[in-house]
């Protein structure tokens, strides 16, 4: 398993459209352009969602493969992660089918989505198959209950032992819960206790994104930043594009001597 990128841009997510921000990348060409611009701004990874012709988030194998091929050609050094986000319409079986069809280098999987309907045998098979295929699975964790659940699944060998990537989510999209830097304290304490070997990153919903991500980096975490979670700069201004968000966070963390930096 690879190490997580220090700065992974999440440029589009599943919900916002170009009507929310004209620079939100929804087409393949726009995603490629955004990836290149964000690399110049300091990103070394991208977490990207593909959209259909109506700008709707889809778990579509062909679209994901097209995106991966294009990014491999235009930005071969960029770490690329696809998503399995359910958005209330995809089942765990459909999420697994996407990963099995695409076999990406990296994928994010919300633990509570993948385990929502039981099927322990199929879930176990999925996680172990991805490890054998050298697919990096980043487990999305929303609270301390998710952290405890992941630790328990590792103990039961449902999630295989070895290197593990996680994403701690601060704030929420659904209820417009705005993240604050101190929101990291409780989940990070639980993570350090239950999964101390985790390679972890943070994303943060709302205009405090820069402050939250800077705090996470100072504590040894990696960063996911971009329009999926927030459209605003730290001064309250609307960001011009994802590259501007990456650049602001890159500048902020450059002043910090982080434990994460020592791992590279």
Enumerate the domain spans of the chain: 7-259
The separation between the first and the last C-alpha atoms of the chain, rounded to the nearest angstrom, is 14
pLDDT at 118 over 90: no
Round to whole Å and give the CA distance between 9 and 195. 25
Tens of pLDDT, residue by residue over 208-250, are 999 999 999 999 999 999 999 999 999 999 999 999 999 999 9
Is the distance from CB of 214 to CB of 254 less than 8 angstroms?
Answer: no
pLDDT at 258 over 80: no
Tens of pLDDT, residue by residue over 74-115, are 999 999 999 999 999 999 999 999 999 999 999 999 999 999
Tens of pLDDT, residue by residue over 142-178, are 999 999 999 999 999 999 999 999 999 998 765 567 8
User: What is the pLDDT at residue 159?
Assistant: 96
CA dihedral 198, 162, 154, 100 (to 10 degrees): 100
- Report domain 7-259's class: alpha beta
Round to whole Å and give the CA distance between 148 and 63. 34
Round to whole Å and give the CA distance between 35 and 41. 10
Give the global pTM. 0.93
Binning pLDDT at 50, 70 and 90, where does residue 260 land?
low
Task: Tell me the average pLDDT of the chain.
Answer: 94
CA dihedral 146, 147, 152, 156 (to 10 degrees): 90
């Amino acid at each position: 398993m690879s190490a997580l990128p220090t700065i992974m841009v999440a440029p589009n997510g599943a919900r916002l459209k170009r009507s929310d921000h004209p620079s939100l990348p929804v087409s393949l060409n726009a995603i490629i352009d955004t990836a290149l611009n964000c690399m110049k701004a300091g990103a070394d990874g991208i977490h990207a969602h593909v959209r259909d012709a109506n700008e709707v988030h889809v778990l579509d194998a062909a679209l994901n493969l097209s995106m991966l091929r294009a990014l491999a050609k235009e930005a071969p050094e960029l770490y690329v992660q696809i998503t399995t986000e359910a958005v209330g319409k995809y089942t765990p079986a459909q999420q697994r089918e996407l990963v099995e069809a695409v076999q990406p280098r990296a994928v994010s999987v919300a633990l509570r989505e993948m385990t929502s309907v039981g099927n322990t045998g199929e879930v176990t098979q999925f996680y172990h198959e991805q490890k054998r295929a050298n697919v990096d699975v980043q487990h999305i964790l929303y609270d301390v209950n998710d952290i405890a659940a992941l630790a328990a699944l590792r103990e039961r060998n449902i999630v295989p032992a070895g290197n593990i990537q996680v994403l701690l989510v601060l704030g929420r999209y659904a209820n417009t819960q705005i993240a604050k830097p101190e929101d990291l304290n409780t989940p990070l304490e639980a993570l350090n206790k239950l999964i101390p070997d985790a390679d972890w990153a943070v994303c943060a919903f709302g205009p405090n994104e820069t402050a939250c991500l800077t705090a996470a980096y100072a504590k040894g975490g990696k960063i996911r930043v971009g329009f999926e979670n927030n459209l605003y700069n730290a001064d309250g201004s609307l960001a011009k594009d994802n590259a501007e968000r990456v650049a602001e966070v890159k500048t902020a963390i450059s002043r910090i001597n982080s434990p994460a930096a020592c791992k590279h």
